[in-house]
Structure 1
């Protein structure tokens, strides 16, 4: 138990204070075919969901075992449930991440997005969340991530998204995990800046209402106004504020992120940009290493 507690503290300190970024390796059912296609694995390469997830597991294993995927520049990695349950070289993926790479493992726990209402998409119900959290704790997971999407500056929609995120976040914290709360603002929204201003107000109120000692991280779209979320990063209950790339290219995302010194990256598509299944190991490792360095530099 003492060993477990010291590991948790080490992981907490790494996420709270470490230099680097959190890699998002959590594409799930809906986004997997697109992620595979960008990687050069087309839909004719698999004939069912199991084969599709085998392909994405190979892709993720190649990333995780690459020489530059290490604690030098990467603080944590967010996994999809099937990845958490999988292994690399016979070692469970969460254990491999921490013991071989020095990277803190997180788990995506949401079940996808509900239909749009009041300019936002809340999360679908998660009736089996407690069971999943128990499995995550047993697997050595440190924290979780869950995503909602805000499409427009609609106060009702944004209030509902934040309320749901924090309600589930408290359930996750009670299970002994650190929740990453992710109310993404769509980068294509015509009212993005206005939505971000409303979101900041709602997040501040929700953070202030948390029971003392309930720690959360925030994963937010890089704001139009540089430094908008700086004071949220300084909130006593916030472990870290991380940024999603949201569809920006790697270069655009890194340029925008560098204007927000209290945010670090948690990029998915930007991390894997330019990688292809047909690359030699040397080509692949060089391309991934360049992406990692670019995202790391923007996160400093």
Structure 2
């Protein structure tokens, strides 16, 4: 069952969630941005060793604590590995007081009706059981909205909530993430349909149950306030979605009650070539700026 202290930390939301969940497809890009080229490793195992080294360096950095970073989303490979002899999720909570989440989706289907649904997740029940045993608090699952297509958006949200109910049944907290692509021309219209679809699904959710939502920063400030205030929503978090850290922070600060869950915007400016002091200083500055934007509302 979800930990009461961890639930309270999420509810208060006095900080942000670090998204450290790049998977097989996005890991080479994450490593490139970190200054590690494909020529420096061969095969998946070496690649995942290097990304785990990067994530461990971030997690062990002095500024990466529950004071400002209240949660972290992990990739399955990261959950299965250790930091200083402790399973990653255990290390996060016991040593850093950071609530651990697990990315469980297996990528996206081809686009249909303007959306990309989640691919099937084989063995999802076994994975959720393993996550609960590993000390994971909740999960994250992502689909993508590329157009203001009502049928597509309703399908994406229905799929998200269906999986969310499975997660809840395993005693874990789902982060439901229907991402709206920031560059689409009809983003405002897509967000209006999305809010409507989520509110309908929340009404159907069993009383006493809560979910978390991870949404693209809206074009209209505070557009998601009805979701922020909803009794069946523990917390609304925002993805950076391709905005630079400064842009994302600026937009986030205009949205009351929403906190960040940034990936690339968090690691922007970090490099394998930096000394520990340089790395820790750069990460501390990033954490301070994202924390400030998260609690501004």
Q: TM-score range by the shorter chain?
A: over 0.9
- Displacement of 1:18 in angstroms is 3.4
Rounded Cα–Cα distance in structure 1 between residues aligned with 2:287 and 2:33: 18
Confirm or deny that 1:239 pairs with 2:234: yes
Q: TM-score, normalised by structure 1?
A: 0.97
1:104 to 91, 99, 102: 99
Confirm or deny that 1:210 pairs with 2:205: yes
Conserved 8 A contact 2:13-2:235:
no
* Per-residue CA distance 1:168-196 (angstroms, 9 max, x = gap): 00000000000000000000111111100
| Structure 2 residue matching 1:266: 3-state secondary structure | strand
Matched residue, 2:81: 86
1:194 to 184, 189, 192: 189
Matched residue, 2:172: 177
Matched residue, 2:260: 265
Conserved 8 A contact 2:20-2:55:
yes
- Where in structure 2 are the equivalents of 1:56-67 lying within 5 Å? 56-67=51-62
| Structure 1 residue matching 2:262: 3-state secondary structure | coil
- Displacement of 1:261 in angstroms is 1.3
- Displacement of 1:127 in angstroms is 2.2
Matched residue, 1:250: 245
Confirm or deny that 1:129 pairs with 2:124: yes
Rounded Cα–Cα distance in structure 2 between residues aligned with 1:159 and 1:234: 21
Confirm or deny that 1:149 pairs with 2:144: yes
Rounded Cα–Cα distance in structure 2 between residues aligned with 1:35 and 1:74: 20
| Structure 1 residue matching 2:119: 3-state secondary structure | coil
- Displacement of 1:215 in angstroms is 1.2
1:119 to 114, 134, 141: 114
* Per-residue CA distance 1:61-85 (angstroms, 9 max, x = gap): 0000000000110110000000000
Conserved 8 A contact 1:170-1:214:
no
Root-mean-square deviation (Å): 0.8
Find runs of 4+ consecutive structure 1 residues off by over 2 angstroms: none
- Displacement of 1:214 in angstroms is 1.7
Structure 1 unaligned blocks of 5 or more: none
Matched residue, 1:30: 25
* Per-residue CA distance 1:190-231 (angstroms, 9 max, x = gap): 111110000000000000110112210000000000000011
Conserved 8 A contact 2:13-2:259:
no
Q: TM-score, normalised by structure 2?
A: 0.98
Conserved 8 A contact 2:22-2:75:
yes
- Displacement of 1:276 in angstroms is 0.5
- Displacement of 1:92 in angstroms is 0.5
- Name the count of aligned residue pairs: 295
Rounded Cα–Cα distance in structure 1 between residues aligned with 2:125 and 2:41: 32
Structure 2 unaligned blocks of 5 or more: none
* Per-residue CA distance 1:83-123 (angstroms, 9 max, x = gap): 00000111110000000000000000000001000000000
